[in-house]
Amino acid sequence: MRIRHFHVSPNIPEALKPLEDLARNFWFSWNWDAVQLFIRLNPALWNKSYQNPILMLGSLTQDELEAAARDESFVANLRRVHENFTRYLKAPGWFQEVHGTEKDFLAAYFCCEFGIDEGLPIYSGGLGILSGRSLKRWSAT
């Protein structure tokens, strides 16, 4: 018996392609404008997917995706949010600003859980939430 795996990806219209970038980076979890984009697509599905944008994008119907691609307001808002995301990725982070001149600097942060977002349930409570908030704070500019 041979087991095969099939990965089904949504056929995302060109105008909505930036949603894939947003969905694959946890930046959305601390950016309310990005979260609102996903909520606007389908509020019930956003909750049903446990606020997991990748799961949500894979669960939207093609009609829903096409309708969003035709919605000029949605597409304009998506472009604005994606531009902010792109600027965020290019901007120097906390580490570069504070320790940018240091050579061979090593640091480690060990934790068994990181409470980054509800859509990535790899935490159970206190320490996970603390470590997740620390990650967000260190990466926020």
- ∠136-78-71 over CA atoms, to 5°? 150
Q: How much is the pLDDT for 111? A: 76
Confidence bin at 85 (pLDDT 50/70/90): very high
Query: Model's pTM, two decimal places?
Result: 0.76
Pull the structure tokens for residue 24.
């694959």
**Alpha helices, H only, the chain:** 18-23, 32-41, 43-48, 53-59, 62-70, 72-90, 94-99, 126-139
- How far is Cα 39 from Cα 22, in angstroms, rounded to an integer? 13
For the chain, give the mean pLDDT: 87
